[in-house]
């Protein structure tokens, strides 16, 4: 693969290299300082220990072509997963490798039966990039959404390995489009093709990337959540907890989200509530349980239900104290709520809820989520500003079936009409013979 001469990498900007290397050093040091007290930081460190001594022993020696997919965390894995599964179906001789930057993604994917080669991405450096790529020898690399690492991308470019970026989202506020953005622009030049989620991203990106290298494919998460919904399996004990009552499932909640619900939960013992906090460390779970007096953890509920059987009287609030259930939990809801819309963390995945045909509610901070804007326009979602507005809307939705049904139908229709991103990516791979001799 040939790159135009005018595309020159950041080696021509030594001051930016120095700043980037300083950032890497500070980040690594900060992680190590935090690791004795922070569980995620500890996993981040331990998962990378003696990586290059261990990898040649556990990475299978194979003559198969290898596809390497890099994901920042769990959300990006969910976006990349349908593409990898389709690659495995259409190219059965291909070996798949997944790397993660964050423990929250790695800890889930490493136990996924569909993928056997799952690793942490070593911290970015010239030597790490060369060693890893020399070991993996990827025929094709897929980068999910973002998480740009300079030395890895530079090494891929040096070796003329095709790199696709999928489920990309680009906004005017990002450094790529600023006067000081040359460093980030040069990293984008590594990518062979961009698959972006919506037209606005294409408009921004084509200011610095040739239009023919950009495809508006939509979000691969639509394909993923449809697959989960259409192959739904029950979660033990949830249907028994819900009974015949109205159910509200609040997923990926933070403290600001939970604060909006405390009064409503106390005032409505006739409704069943299920909260799935975004953070499930011991300290946060204890805080959430204190916010909802009389609530019970899922692990406790399962133990008590199995002992007491169907006659056991469940409380009205269940707190999920594990990871991996949320995409199926929304199935049990009458109304869904998705967290992240009241803070800087950003709104979480609303498609997981919408696919089941249930109205979706979230907070006011969703400007970075174009799907939220579109779902509101389609009447499948409602944004609320505060607890009073939340209570008013929930009471209205529960008071009759017409609005509940119409909004739920609109939510589901939105997901299905935006499906198909995975096939667009696979078609590009096939058309350009990226995995074919």
pLDDT digits (tens, 9 = 90+) for 380-392: 999 999 999 999 9
pLDDT of 204 strictly over 60: yes
Mean pLDDT to the nearest integer, 233-252: 94
Spatial CB neighbours of 309, under 8 Å, sequence gap ≥ 6: none
Angstrom distance (rounded) from CA 370 to CA 169: 9
For residue 428, the model assigns a pLDDT of 97
| Lowest-pLDDT range of 85-89, 166-170, 183-187 | 183-187
Asked if 278 and 202 sit in the same domain, the reply is: no
Kindly state whether residue 2 falls inside one of the protein's structural domains: no
- Tokens standing for residue 342: 């009241």
**What CATH number is associated with residue 200?**
3.40.50.11720
Asked if 288 and 258 sit in the same domain, the reply is: yes
Mean pLDDT to the nearest integer, 163-177: 94
Asked if 187 and 255 sit in the same domain, the reply is: no
Q: Which residue range forms the structural domain that includes residue 287?
A: 229-417
pLDDT of 2 strictly over 70: no
Angstrom distance (rounded) from CA 150 to CA 40: 24
CA torsion 420-423-425-429 (nearest 10°) is: -170
By the 8 A CB rule, do 257 and 352 touch? no
Kindly state whether residue 437 falls inside one of the protein's structural domains: no
Asked if 236 and 157 sit in the same domain, the reply is: no
Asked if 199 and 262 sit in the same domain, the reply is: no
The confidence band for 310, taking pLDDT boundaries of 50, 70 and 90, is: low
Asked if 305 and 408 sit in the same domain, the reply is: yes
Mean pLDDT to the nearest integer, 126-145: 96
Strand order in the sheet with 296-297: 296-297, 317-319, 272-277, 247-253, 335-338, 360-362, 381-383
Asked if 387 and 425 sit in the same domain, the reply is: no
Asked if 407 and 427 sit in the same domain, the reply is: no
Distance of CA 252 to the CA centre of its chain: 11
Distance of CA 390 to CAs 157, 171, 344, 393, 409, Å?
50, 30, 20, 5, 21
Mean pLDDT to the nearest integer, 370-382: 96
Asked if 249 and 163 sit in the same domain, the reply is: no
For residue 305, the model assigns a pLDDT of 67
Mean pLDDT to the nearest integer, 221-244: 94
The total of structural domains in the chain comes to 2
Kindly state whether residue 236 falls inside one of the protein's structural domains: yes
- Which of 303 and 432 is assigned the larger pLDDT? 432
Asked if 346 and 327 sit in the same domain, the reply is: yes
* Residue 203: count of CB within 10 angstroms of its CB: 14
Spatial CB neighbours of 345, under 8 Å, sequence gap ≥ 6: 254, 278
Spatial CB neighbours of 229, under 8 Å, sequence gap ≥ 6: 331, 355, 356
Asked if 134 and 37 sit in the same domain, the reply is: yes
pLDDT of 406 strictly over 50: yes
What is the bridge-based pairing of β-strands 296-297 and 317-319? Answer: parallel
Kindly state whether residue 1 falls inside one of the protein's structural domains: no
pLDDT digits (tens, 9 = 90+) for 311-354: 456 789 999 999 889 999 999 999 999 999 998 778 999 999 99
For residue 3, the model assigns a pLDDT of 34
Distance of CA 143 to CAs 3, 51, 110, Å?
19, 21, 18
Kindly state whether residue 3 falls inside one of the protein's structural domains: no
pLDDT digits (tens, 9 = 90+) for 64-84: 899 999 999 998 999 999 999
- Which of 176 and 60 is assigned the larger pLDDT? 176
Asked if 255 and 382 sit in the same domain, the reply is: yes
By the 8 A CB rule, do 319 and 241 touch? no
For all residues of the chain together, what is the average pLDDT?
A: 91
Angstrom distance (rounded) from CA 18 to CA 15: 5
Question: 């490798």: which residue's tokens?
Answer: 97
Kindly state whether residue 39 falls inside one of the protein's structural domains: yes
- Tokens standing for residue 222: 């639509």
Kindly state whether residue 399 falls inside one of the protein's structural domains: yes
| Lowest-pLDDT range of 18-22, 71-75, 259-263 | 18-22
Mean pLDDT to the nearest integer, 248-263: 96
**What CATH number is associated with residue 292?**
3.40.50.2000
How big is the chain, counted in residues?
437
For residue 255, the model assigns a pLDDT of 95
SS (H, E, C) the chain: CCCCCCCCCHHHCHHHHHHHHHHHHHHHHHHHHHCCCCHHHHHHHHCCCCHHHHHHHHCCCCCCCEEEEEECCHHHHHHHHHHHHHHHHHCCCCEEEEEECCHHHHHHHCCCCCCCCEEECCCCCHHHHHHHHHHHCCCEEEEECCCCCHHHHHHHHHCCCCEEEEEECCCCCCHHHCCCCHHHHHHHCCCCEEEECCHHHHHHHCCCCCHHHEEECCCHHHHHHHHHHHCCCCCCCHHHHHCCCCEEEEEEECHHHHHHHHHHHHHCCCCEEEEEECCCCHHHHHHHHHHCCCCEEHHHHHHHHHHHHHHCCCCCEEECCCCCCHHHHHHHCCEEEECCCCCCCCCCCCHHHHCCCCCEEECCCCCCCHHHHHHHHCCCEEECCCHHHHHHHHHHHHCCHHHHHHHHHHHHHHHHHCCCHHHHHHHHHHHCCCCCC
Kindly state whether residue 40 falls inside one of the protein's structural domains: yes
pLDDT of 10 strictly over 50: no
pLDDT of 401 strictly over 50: yes
Percent of the chain past pLDDT 70, that is, above it, reads 93
């Amino acid at each position: 693969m040939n790159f135009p001469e005018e595309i020159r990498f950041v080696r021509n900007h030594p001051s930016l290299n120095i700043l980037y290397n300083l950032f890497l050093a500070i980040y690594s040091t900060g992680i190590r300082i935090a690791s004795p007290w922070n569980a995620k930081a500890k996993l981040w460190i331990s998962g990378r220990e003696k990586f290059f001594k261990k990898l040649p022993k556990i990475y299978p020696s194979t003559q198969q072509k290898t596809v390497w997919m890099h994901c920042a965390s769990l959300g990006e894995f969910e976006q990349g997963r349908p593409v990898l599964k389709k690659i495995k179906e259409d190219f059965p001789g291909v070996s798949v490798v997944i790397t993660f930057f964050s423990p929250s993604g790695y800890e889930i994917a490493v136990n996924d039966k569909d993928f056997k080669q799952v690793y942490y991405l070593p911290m970015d450096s010239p030597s790490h990039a060369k060693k890893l790529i020399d070991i993996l020898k990827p025929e094709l690399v897929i980068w999910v959404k973002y998480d740009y690492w300079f030395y890895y991308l530079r090494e891929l470019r040096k070796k003329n390995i095709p790199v696709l970026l999928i489920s990309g989202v680009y906004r005017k506020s990002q450094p790529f489009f600023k006067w000081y953005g040359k460093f980030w622009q040069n990293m984008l030049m590594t990518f062979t093709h961009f698959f972006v989620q919506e037209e606005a991203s294409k408009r921004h990106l084509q200011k610095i990337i040739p239009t023919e290298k950009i495809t508006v494919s939509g979000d691969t998460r639509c394909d993923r959540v449809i697959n989960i919904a259409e192959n739904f399996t029950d979660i033990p004990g949830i249907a028994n907890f819900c009974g015949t009552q109205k159910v509200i499932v609040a997923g990926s909640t933070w403290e600001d989200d939970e604060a909006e619900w405390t009064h409503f939960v106390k005032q409505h013992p006739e409704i069943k509530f299920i909260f799935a906090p975004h953070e499930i460390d011991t300290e946060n779970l204890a805080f959430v349980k204190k916010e909802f007096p009389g609530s019970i953890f899922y692990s406790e509920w399962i133990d008590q239900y199995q002992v007491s059987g169907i006659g056991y009287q469940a409380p009205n609030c269940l707190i999920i104290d594990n990871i991996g259930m949320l995409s199926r939990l929304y199935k049990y809801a009458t109304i869904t709520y998705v967290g992240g819309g009241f803070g800087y963390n950003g709104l979480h995945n609303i498609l997981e809820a919408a696919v089941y045909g249930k109205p979706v509610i979230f907070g006011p901070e969703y400007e970075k989520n174009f799907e939220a804007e579109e779902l509101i326009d389609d009447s499948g979602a409602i944004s609320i500003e505060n607890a009073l507005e939340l209570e008013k809307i929930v009471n209205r939705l529960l008071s009759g079936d017409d609005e509940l049904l119409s909004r739920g139908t609109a939510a589901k229709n939105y997901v299905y009409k935006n499906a198909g991103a995975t096939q667009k990516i696979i078609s590009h791979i096939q058309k350009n013979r990226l995995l074919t001799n």
